[in-house]
Amino acid sequence: MVTLKGKQIYLRALEQKDLDFLYELENDTDVWEVSGTIAPYSKDVLQLYLDSAHRDIFDVKQLRLVICNLQHKAIGLIDIFDFEPNHKRAGIGIIILDTAQRNKGVGSEAITLLYNYVFDVLGLRQVYANILEDNLASMHLFKKLGFVEVGVKKDWVRVKNSFKNEVLLQKINN
């Protein structure tokens, strides 16, 4: 049986009460490099996003879940994106907004819960993550969880006046 609850955290669907949390996260310029964001989001735009968050993953090809601690506080987001049921694969991404919650096993637990869900419930064969080469914490996290580096996209992400390489990591469910 798949559960979306771990020892420290649980994953849940987006809710209307998440508007302020989304607003804070999406407008945090420190995470724009990772998320690909280049402009702030208004609360109105984020409300429209929340209003459509109920749509089926098979329809919109993505699913965003909120990472909550056991005190029910939203601390991050974890995403399934580029969902390809025919090819049985999807990308995953994670962000823990509260830096005090990082390096405490929260990311490991959230990713493990998510890939168990995509393998056991959605029937996928593989998941992948795209990580900037200099994001050593994320590289370590995903490799620790059995993701394997399968390629490097050279000069893939423009940051100010330079470019960074992005590493492709993959986990296959055998």
Report pLDDT digits (tens) over 23-54: 888 888 777 777 777 788 888 888 888 888 87
Residue 142 belongs to a domain: no
173 touches 125 (CB < 8 A): yes
78 touches 142 (CB < 8 A): no
Neighbours of 149 (CB within 10 A): 13
* pLDDT tens readout for residues 87-106: 999 999 999 987 888 888 99
Residue 119 belongs to a domain: yes
Query: What is the rounded average pLDDT for all residues in the chain?
Result: 90
Residue 36 belongs to a domain: yes
- Residue 125 structure tokens: 């064969």
Residue 129 belongs to a domain: no
- Global pTM exceeds 0.85: yes
Q: What is the CATH number of the domain that holds 102?
A: 3.40.630.30
Residue 52 belongs to a domain: yes
Residue 85 belongs to a domain: yes
Measured in whole angstroms, the distance separating CA 23 from the mean position of its chain's CA atoms is 16
- Residue 9 structure tokens: 């955290």
69 touches 102 (CB < 8 A): no
Give the range of the structural domain holding residue 33, as residue numbers without chain letter: 9-124
Residue 44 belongs to a domain: yes
Residue 21 belongs to a domain: yes
Domains: count for the chain: 1
Q: Where are the beta strands (DSSP E) in the chain?
A: 9-13, 63-69, 74-84, 89-96, 126-132, 148-159, 162-172
